[in-house]
Structure 1
Amino acid sequence: MKLLFLSALLALVAGQCDEDITISSESDLSQLSGCNSYSGQITVSNYDGATLDMSIKSADSIVVENSFQLAQINFGSLTTISKNFQIQNNTQLLGLSIPKLSSVDNFQLINNPNLNVILSTSFSKIGNYQIIQSQIVNLIPVSASTIKNIEIIANSFLIDISFPSVVNNTGYINIVDNHSSAFASFDSLTTISGNTTFRDLAGLRVDNVTTVSDTFNVYENTFTKLDLSQLSTLSKDLSIANNTKLDTIKIPGVSNLGGGLQIIGNSALTQIENSTFTTLSYIKGGVSLSGPFDNITFPALTRVDGAFKLNTTGTFSCNTASTQIRPRVKGSYSCTQPKSSTTSSGSSGSSNSPASSIVINRSSIGAACITFALIAATLFF
């Protein structure tokens, strides 16, 4: 008889731990009493307390959102989230304690503008990693070798953005608008499968990346050198724009560019030289170059399928470009330079076509990255 009663009690308790529930007050937390593991989604919404404490060890999903009185979250026993861990739109949240959480599929801290303290361990297993709009100064470390998507955006106190153990990135990377001195480093990273955007960084280390299967965007940074010396495969577009201190680019190993090439508005970049694109022989898309160029050299280039537009304000002349580059371009071709510029032969330079403006719009970045019309217009004959 006792055995039957115990079995019935266990079944009842198990039934309370496998349905989606919503919690709005401390009294609602009693619904989790006796649950070490929860197979449904726990949603905390419009919570009326200043502190949220849970003793759950594992769950499918935990969402804490729109709780404007909440200042501290304590999940001291939580080790595993099989699906989503989302902390979002909690404007007064200051601290998050997850000292044992090591495995999570989708980790999101979004729009918690006052969050500045996170007590955590390292993530040994993780899919998506998003920290957007907070005041944190240290990232939760990742010891996993494979990660899906990375978004680190608008964390104005965050300087050290480091993923030393990540080898394979199977999705996108967006690191944008953090502290003006932010340095992003990926010491072990070799493969990036999705769109990649780095913006407003003082330093970037991606020295060991060999393969980028989508677009690679470098916008409005203040570092002086972009080194992709190990990169051999770049399947789509490369855009390097408005990096005010950038004076050196090294991408010697890419022979075929699967999209277009855009290098514009980099006011310190005067040289595209032999070591910049040493083996680049084929560009499937269009090319847009604009800046104070004194030298432009593509030593191995044999073909550009898309449109080619050059605007040079340095000593490199349109006459030289017409001789060295234009014969390799299958699409439309144009070159502009100031009328007072001197050609390579000493005569006055002139434009081969009317000048055109090139603009990059600054917009919010999510899973999709910034695109540009010129390079999208590939295979233009």
Structure 2
Amino acid sequence: MIVTKILPVLAAVGSAVAQSSCKATTTTVASQAEATKIASCKKFEGSVVVTGDGGIDLSGPSEITGDLKVFNISNLDYITSSTLRKVGGKFTLQALEKLNRVEFPSLTEVGSLTFQALPALDAVTLGPLSKADEVAISDTFTSRVDMINVTTIRSLDINNNKRLTSFVSALQTVTGALKISANGIGLGLEVELPNLIWANELAIANVTTFDVPSLRVVNGSARFDSNFFESFIAPNLTHTEKGDISFVGNGALTNLSFPVLTELGGGLLIANNTELEEIDAFPKLRKVGGAVKLRGSFKDVDFPSLEVVLGAFDVSSTEDIRKVCDKLKELAPAHQGGNGKVEGTFTCTSDNAAANEDTGAGSTGDGQIDGSDDESSAAGVVFNTALFGLVAVAAVASAL
């Protein structure tokens, strides 16, 4: 009789112990032996912090509801789990000098993913990852990120991965910022996003191609700086809601095309793209909500459908564009002799040797229309300060 009463009690105690081992605010795994703390859990409710070196296998749970964090370990070679499918919080691998292998073949969902300062990381295996709110991959040795296969994401930041030369993704929507820069050192990065339709912010630098054939709307700004591509085409982009479009310092760019773009919520900045001879990429652009600033070595400028520019219109080239200036003068405010389509200050200068040096978004002309035969005055135009209206995209960085 006593035994029959004790056994259920012991069973209940055992069950409580097992249950408590699968629930904790934070569990620290300092060695492979300590990984057994969660090995029997199907679902671990809480966060896991790995502090051990060598190699850590976290196989057992299919879900960690909190964070999975591994950082500042000098001798961790690999981390793996054959069972983990979901991390509800942050999956962070940071400042791991010797980490060369990450294997989570079942992992398809995380709250956020950050791989940062992993100079030896080469082999990465994920589910692939199909659901994540934020992803940042920075300063790694990996040559592929095709394990990131999300269709909707808030932010994606891929930077300073020196062996990464290709990124192809099924991404459709970016509700925050898409930032890509400084990858494929010496080679550049080819980016193909065939399904991307809507993006809030784009900040793209140092890529050899950026293919977005389906992109229709950019809610904020789209900034393209110091890229290696010869051509950029956005065949289906119709408008930006409130942001700017800028191309600065793209030294190989010869072809720029936005064939159906009708409206910019912000401004337009095209500067120091020295091989771009004509700025005629916007045949249907009717309205610019900010200002237009053009700097370069172009010989022609044409906006055949332009009806209103709420800010300034400022053009300067190293080439002889006196006839271009005469044509564009028609857009100037009434007090400058134009039809008033430009509501801000109008300035156009020809033969300006320093035109490619002025790439900032904050200066516009002082009202002088320099399309005359006096070439000596072109390089000497004095600029004052006026509202340009370009909102700069945030520097490429990812906060954990």
Q: TM-score, normalised by structure 1?
A: 0.86
Aligned 8 A contact 1:121 1:140 in 2? no
Structure 1 residues 45-69: Cα deviation after superposition (integer angstroms, max 9, x where no partner): 4x3x211111132102211111111
**Aligned equivalents of 1:117, 1:339: Cα separation in 2:** 51
Which stretch shows the higher mean deviation, 18-27 or 117-126? 18-27
Does the CA contact (< 8 Å) of 1:79 and 1:102 recur in 2?
yes
Q: Which residue of 1 aligns with 2:356?
A: none
Of the candidates 250, 256, 269, which is equivalent to residue 263 of structure 2?
256
CA RMSD of aligned residues (A): 2.7
Of 17, 21, 27, which aligns to 1:16? 21
After TM superposition, the structure 1 = structure 2 runs for residues 188-199 of structure 1, keeping only pairs within 5 Å, are 188-193=195-200, 195-199=201-205
Offset at 1:94?
Answer: 1.0
Shift of 1:345: 9.2
Distance (Å, rounded) in 1 between the aligned partners of 2:393 and 2:213: 27
Structure 1 Cα separation of the partners of residues 371 and 115 of structure 2: 59
Once the two structures are superposed, the pairs formed by residues 1-381 of structure 1 within 5 Å of their partners are 1=5, 2-19=7-24, 20-45=26-51, 47=52, 49-55=53-59, 56-60=61-65, 61-163=67-169, 165-179=170-184, 180-193=187-200, 195-235=201-241, 236-273=243-280, 276-317=281-322, 319-320=325-326, 322-326=328-332, 327=338, 328-338=341-351, 347-349=373-375, 350-351=377-378, 353-354=381-382, 364-366=395-397
Unaligned runs of 5+ in 1: 369-381
Aligned length: 359
Contact 1:120/1:140 (CA < 8 Å) preserved in 2?
A: no
CA distance in 1, matches of 2:167, 2:229: 15
Is the alpha carbon distance of 1:58 and 1:32 closer, same or farther for their aligned partners in structure 2, counting shifts above 3 Å?
A: same
Sort the Cα spacing of 1:108 and 1:345 in 2 relative to 1 into closer, same or farther, 3 A. closer
Q: Distance in 1 between matches of 2:177 and 2:147?
A: 18
Change (3 A) 1:309 1:91: same
What is the CA-CA distance between 1:170 and the residue it aligns to? 1.8
Per-residue deviation at 1:36? Answer: 2.8
Q: What does the per-residue CA deviation read over 1:217-268, in whole Å, with 9 as the maximum and x for residues that have no partner?
A: 1111111111111001212111111101111111122222101110001011
Q: Which consecutive segments of 4 or more residues in structure 1 shift more than 6 A?
A: 343-346
Q: What are structure 2's unaligned runs of at least 5 residues?
A: 333-337, 354-368
Q: Offset at 1:89?
A: 1.0
Counterpart residue identity of residue 112, structure 2 = N
CA contact (8 A) 2:154 2:177 kept: yes
Corresponding residue of 2:359: none
Q: Give the Cα separation in 2 of the matches to 1:272 and 1:198.
A: 20
The answer as to whether partners of 1:168 and 1:192 remain within 8 angstroms in 2 is: yes
Indicate the structure (1 or 2) with the bigger Cα radius of gyration.
Answer: 2
Quote the residue 2:364 is aligned against: none
Q: For residue 364 of structure 1, report the CA deviation from its aligned partner.
A: 4.8
Is the 1:123–1:140 contact (alpha carbons within 8 Å) kept by the matching residues of 2?
no
